[in-house]
Amino acid sequence: MEASRQPSLIERILLGPGRVLVALFYRVTKFGTHRLPEGGFLLLPNHLTWVDAVILQLACPRPIRFLIDTEIFNLPVLNRIFRSMGALPISPRQAKEAVRSAAETIRKGEIVCIFPEGELSRSGMLLRLKRGYELIARTAQAPVVPVWLEGLWGSVFSFEGGKFFFKWPRQIPYPVMVAFGEPIPAADADIATVRARFLDLGEHCYQQRPVLEGHLAEACIRGLKKHPFHTAVIDGLDHSSISCGMLLAAAITLSRELRRTCPARRIAIVLPAGKAAVLANLAVTLAGKVPVNLNFTASRSCIEAALRIADARDCITAKPVIKRLAEFPWPEKLLLLDEVLPPLKPWIIAWRLGSALLPAGLLARALGIPRIGDREEAVVLFTSGSSGDPKGVVLSHRNLIGNVSQFAIMLNLDRSDTVLACLPFFHSFGSTVTLWYPMIEGVRSVTYPNPLEITKNADLMERYRVTLFCTTPTFLRGYLRKVEPAKLASLQLIVTGAEKLPMELADAFRERFGKELLQGYGLTETSPVAAVNLPEPKPSRRNDSVQPSNRPGSVGKLAPGMAAQIRDPDTGAIRTLHETGMLWLRGPNIFEGYLNDPERTADVLVDRWFKTGDLARFDEDGFCFIEGRLSRFSKIGGEMVPHETVETRIAEALQLPKDERLIAITGVPDEAKGEALVVLSARDLDVAEMRQKLTEAGLPNLWIPRIIKRVEEIPILASGKLDLKRCKELAAES
């Protein structure tokens, strides 16, 4: 192999001004240059902006020969520059010649670069990788080096906001990281492997973002101070509202009171979604303490366990809540907002003036809020206990700020948008997406305490022109029966989670309301947003290709800054992303562990990789498909039988209504085959008829249940999830 080429005089002349210009507008940080092989190799970067090649060349210690589309290569203004830089033209019509030329160049010891996505990303997400690079690498018998360009999405030269160029830079110089990965042998550099390496590099780079080291309280202060007179929260019960400035002032005042009267680190909050709950959570955070929103719909034993695990001796609530929750196991000390706040009104007015005068950073320091929050405990949420006793999930400042930033990149909402906050704040989606996200990003929220009151929520959507609605498939079924299409006309994004979105529900919703249901995926342990489908972008020009953002049946693409692995559920061996196996995730939003429970933490966290407990695979476009939760499978006669699939086939065979959940499958121990399926049914069903129709529909005999247990209703948690623990208890009675 020949020695690598030195830059020509023309290249050095061109790169000189280039370095100056890039230094003016970008602050480039390099990582992993020591990994670059000495000889020739194929460089594969992600593609976000028109200046990717310039930044990449300035970050690389050796000259790069870029493969450039022939149409662009032959442009009169650029052709001479491309030639002087040693660029190589490539076109579909002369692909073999381009591959041969690139391979020869690599064999001479040079670096050849091709953007494997083949086009600029218009969403900031990694696109499908084209297979042409595999042919070049194998022809040259040279390694492939993935490289990740981080931070360029949102810059002037990216398509963020739906346009190139015509937007103001967010900051100058703009911080960018260029991370080179480990070389991959040509024989191993298939698209699944390269995508996995891209995700790893993207996760590493995202974790370096300085904002993630910040403190949740200061992030909220900055968000609320951006537009102090803008409405922050509208309470859907009485239609009262509070501005960003007044919310901040009231929370600061209450935080001073909490510091004085509540010495414990964690403070329980028992309030439905509303202005008071938003205020309480913000105040606890500003006080330097940890809010613990308790699930007041859970059993008494679960609530007592949560209070014990969190060591929460102080609780913020209100008189009407105490009256409604007569059997609630209240902790030692109660702070009733309707008693505490009225005497503090003069202080609220004073803080409204004071907070307006001080910049966000100085205000945070004046309140004693540290600059660094990072991996310190910020919030504790308790799992719903759908399959066992609740666990205290510790979410750090990094987790919440990180997940809010990920969600913000994907949705790109602004202060003209409105979020309906009807999910309880003890629910992870309700906590991050409808509580912290609106405050940090300056998006208005409309609260309502009960997601089951369908007509009330629909009225609020119409009245306040709600644009983002996050819910569960279980709750959405009621909208098909009770709501007129005009009520949902303003909705631009309907994101569903917590359970699999049935295709028949999505089809019925599209037919009635003309709205796409966008399935997402998350867990309390992922803060919670891990993946989500997005609306399909409209091409800006007639002949432009559409980059897919939504794939029916999938949960969408992973959030920015997340890495994934597919592992064998039994052995833990790594599989390719395109195979089905246990989904492991890593990213800034992965929780810190279970509160005071190192044993269960060690079961699910390995080197900051989180074992989700879900079976999944990825397609070539990067969409994630959740095949089922391991806890929703039964091993019968050595075969894994998916409960959700059996439920769907029974509903189809018996033509059960699609707008309500009438059946649920669970497993019980069976001496002969390991487990047996039990159908819980809220409607009278005939076993013989069901079995005959399932057989006629082609369902394997092993998958056909033999037991039906009639129940009054299918157990559902307040979050909208199936209550798996209660289902097993009912099935055991059969």
| Distant-in-sequence, close-in-space partners of 461: CB < 8 Å, separation ≥ 6 | 420, 469, 487, 488, 490, 491
pLDDT digits (tens, 9 = 90+) for 241-266: 999 999 999 999 999 999 999 999 99
Q: What is the pLDDT of residues 349-383, one digit of tens each?
A: 999 998 999 999 999 999 999 999 999 999 999 98
Cα angle 563, 569, 570 (rounded to 5 degrees) comes to 140
Encoding tokens for residue 503? 């295709």
- Higher per-residue pLDDT: 68 or 603: 603
Q: Which residues of 253-285 are buried (b: 16+ CB within 10 A; e: fewer)?
A: bbbbbbbeebebebbbbbbbbbbbbbbbbbbbb
For residue 388, what pLDDT band results from cuts at 50, 70 and 90?
A: low
When mean pLDDT is compared across 46-55, 513-522, 637-646, 708-717, the lowest value belongs to 637-646
Residue 545 burial by CB count (10 A; 0-12/13-18/19+): exposed, middle or buried?
exposed
The whole-number average pLDDT for the span 696-716 is 85
User: What pLDDT sits at residue 378?
Assistant: 97
**Tens digit of pLDDT for each residue in 31-66?**
999 999 999 999 999 998 877 888 888 888 888 888
- Domains assigned to the chain: 9-208 (no CATH), 637-732 (3.30.300.30)
Which pLDDT band, with edges at 50, 70 and 90, does 431 fall under?
very high
What average pLDDT does the structure give for the chain?
87
Top pLDDT among 16 and 524 is at: 524
Distances (CA, A) of 513 to 256, 467, 494, 555: 47, 14, 11, 21
Q: How many CB atoms are closer than 10 A to CB 94? A: 13
Length of the chain: 734
Of 5-9, 55-59, 195-199, 331-335, the range with the lowest mean pLDDT is 5-9
Residue 607 has pLDDT above 80, yes or no: yes
pLDDT at 641 (0 to 100):
78
- 146 phi, psi to nearest 5 deg: -75, 145
Residue 49: predicted pLDDT? 82
Q: Are 244 and 233 in contact (CB under 8 A)?
A: no
The pLDDT of 302-315, averaged and rounded, is 92
Q: What number is the average pLDDT over the span 61-75?
A: 74
Three-state secondary structure call for residue 178: strand
Residues 6+ apart with CB under 8 A from 133: 42, 44, 114, 116, 144, 189, 194
Predicted pLDDT at 13: 47
| pLDDT band of 97, cuts 50, 70, 90 | confident
Q: How confident is the model at residue 131 (pLDDT cuts 50, 70, 90)?
A: confident
**Quick check: 176 and 55 in contact, CB under 8 A?**
yes
Q: Could you give the CA distance from residue 210 to residue 473 in angstroms, rounded to a whole number?
A: 37
Least confident of 90-99, 187-196, 300-309, 417-426: 90-99
- Rounded Cα gap, residues 436 and 407, in angstroms: 11
pLDDT at 398: 97
Q: Is the pLDDT of residue 613 over 90?
A: no
What confidence score (pLDDT) does residue 3 get?
46
User: Regarding beta strands 241-243 and 266-269, do their DSSP bridges make them parallel or antiparallel, or are they unpaired?
Assistant: unpaired
Torsion over CA: 441, 442, 444, 449 (sign): positive
Residue 1: pLDDT band with limits 50, 70, 90:
very low
| Contact status, residue 595 vs residue 309, Cβ threshold 8 Å | yes
| Residue 466 CA from chain centroid, whole number | 21
Is residue 550 over pLDDT 80?
yes
Per the model's pLDDT, the better-predicted residue between 699 and 541 turns out to be 699
Instruction: Say whether 661 sits in a helix, a strand or coil.
Output: coil
Q: What is the DSSP string of 546-589?
A: P-----TTS--EEPTT-EEEEE-TTT--EE-TTS-EEEEEESTT
pLDDT score for 439 = 96
Q: Whole-angstrom distance between the N-terminal and C-terminal Cα of the chain?
A: 73
Which of 576, 552, 573, 553 shows the shortest CA–CA distance to 564?
576
Cα separation, 113 vs 53, whole angstroms: 9
pLDDT at 635: 67
> What's the sign of the alpha-carbon dihedral 490, 492, 497, 501?
positive
Got the DSSP string for 481-526? HH--GGGGTT-SEEEE-SS---HHHHHHHHHHH---EEEEEE-GGG
Give the whole-number percent of the chain exceeding pLDDT 70.
87
Predicted confidence at residue 716, as pLDDT, reads 80
Mean pLDDT of 223-252: 95
pLDDT tens digits, 477-534: 889 888 999 999 999 999 998 778 888 888 989 999 999 999 999 989 999 999 999 9
What would the pLDDT profile of 157-214 be if each residue is shown by its tens digit? 777 766 665 666 667 777 899 999 999 999 999 999 999 999 999 999 999 999 999 9
Span 87-104, mean pLDDT? 76
Residue 143: pLDDT over 60 = yes
CA 18 to each of CA 53, 59, 656: distance values in angstroms, whole numbers, following the listed order = 11, 12, 66
